[in-house]
Amino acid sequence: MPELSLVLVNGEFAGADTPALDVRPLGDYWGDSTGVEVVENSPSDIGALMYTSGTTGPSKACMMSHNYLCNIARAGSNLVALEPHDIVWTPLPLFHTSGLQAILGAIIVGGKVSISLKFSVTNFWAEIETSGATVAKIMASMVPILIAAPEDDAMKRTFGQVRAVVGNPFTPAQKQAFYDRFGVKYIANNQYGSTEVYCGTSVPYLADTPQGSAGKRNDDFDVIVLDDNDCEVPYGTPGELCFRPSKPDVMFSGYWQQPQKSAEVWRNLWMHTGDMVRMDEEGFIYFTDRKKDYMRKGGENISGFEMEKTFIGHDAIGEVSVHALPSELGEDDIKVVVVLADGANLSHEDLWHWSRERVPSFATPRYIEFRKELPKNGVGRVLKYQLRDEGVTPATWDVQTTDLVKKRVSQ
């Protein structure tokens, strides 16, 4: 490290005598507290600004009180029953609530945290081994990569070392792979969270939970599913997920310098998330789509989330995003944007025919576009608003301009 010239040491330095290295006591550099004003904070005072992911529009800065930051630490730690002896490993960015929680959660229980600068599948198990991690917080996109990676010595040596993994979503097959191959004992993936409301729904550690659910109401929040008129919908009916706190200062305090945006989400005493869910009779919620990502065609509602689950099942597709474009008929036309898997070949026509066999006729896409990559934010989420704004590009294939439509009409 040729750039290193000064090292500050707390306590005695037992290292080698290096003339080129200036080693000094840390105490020599302690600041002088004389004249420093001590500010007393209340739990409701703003402690941080954290920006939303910006997947449906420009990011907004959430005002986060000191108590909300403490609640993030506590609620996230409860998901895996974090204890002082635990070491949390994560590559998640610290401008994301999950990344921030890794640090705050360790602090609140007196544990430790290891922050990886960048996720690397080849170095993952070596970092787990070196850090001594017992809990890992990862993104969903990392799950299949880790499962598909070849076995290495570090993976073998750390079998069973990580007792719990926090990430969402996990399929049943992915969970089983983590249990069997890596010795993980628990996957915490049944919770709902956003920058505005962290762990709005959740389940207790080791609880038996329905597959695919995002948990249920906890002691911190009241939860309801509402229609467009803010009336509660029956069990099993899709509607917008809404929250209000059961305790003071356990969620965001509004958007910084955007009172109109704050008022838009706080309506009729409920904070509207913009996420569409359904709730079963036991109170478990199931995500269906972002409200802005819902499409309507032929008088039918279409979930972009469900459409993407279908298209990602094609062997030639690596990534996919489905969204609506305005139709001249007054509803929506559906556009599918695809990133092909490495080495895969696929034509627009073949994908269109494939989709007709797997989705309802009213949900068959009009537009298909192949791209090298999808626009994403800093935590890897697709920026659908950007795709919608781009509309029909020169690279967009339109079934209406082909003979396929004529053949269907003549049949």
Domain residue spans in the chain?
49-288, 298-410
CB 367 within 8 A of CB 396: yes
Measured from the Cβ of residue 326, the count of other Cβ atoms closer than 10 Å reads: 11
pTM above 0.85, yes or no: no
CB under 8 A, 24+ apart: contacts of 4-9: none
Q: Which residue has the tokens 């610290």?
A: 94
Strand, helix or coil at 87? Answer: strand
* Sign of CA pseudo-dihedral 203, 205, 207, 210: positive
| pLDDT of 409 | 44
Tokens at 7, concatenated: 């090292």
Percent helix, strand, coil in the chain, to 5, is 25, 25, 45
Whether the domain at 49-288 and the domain at 298-410 fall into the same CATH topology: no
Backbone angles phi, psi at 157, to 5 degrees: -70, -30
| pLDDT of 285 | 97
Angle at 266 between CA 262 and CA 272, to 5 degrees: 110
| pLDDT of 68 | 98
CB 13 within 8 A of CB 25: no
Q: How far apart are CA 12 and CA 15, in angstroms?
A: 9
Q: What is the pLDDT along the chain (411 residues), one digit of tens a residue?
A: 677 888 888 877 666 566 677 888 888 888 777 777 888 899 999 999 999 877 666 789 999 999 999 999 999 999 999 999 999 999 999 988 999 999 999 999 999 999 999 999 999 999 999 999 999 999 888 998 999 999 999 999 999 999 999 998 888 999 999 999 999 999 999 999 999 999 999 999 999 899 889 999 999 999 999 999 999 999 999 999 999 999 999 999 999 999 999 999 999 999 999 999 999 999 999 998 888 787 888 777 788 888 998 999 999 999 999 999 988 877 899 999 999 999 999 999 999 999 999 998 889 999 999 999 999 887 788 888 899 889 999 999 999 999 886 555 444
Tokens at 194, concatenated: 């956003």
| pLDDT of 406 | 56
CATH label, 298-410, candidates 3.30.300.30, 3.30.70.20, 3.30.70.330, 2.60.120.10: 3.30.300.30
Q: How far apart are CA 115 and CA 107, in angstroms?
A: 14
Task: Tell me the CA distances in angstroms from 291 to 56, 118, 270, one per residue in order.
Answer: 10, 32, 16
The CATH superfamily holding the domain 49-288 is ANL, N-terminal domain (3.40.50.12780)
Tokens at 353, concatenated: 């025919």
| pLDDT of 18 | 65
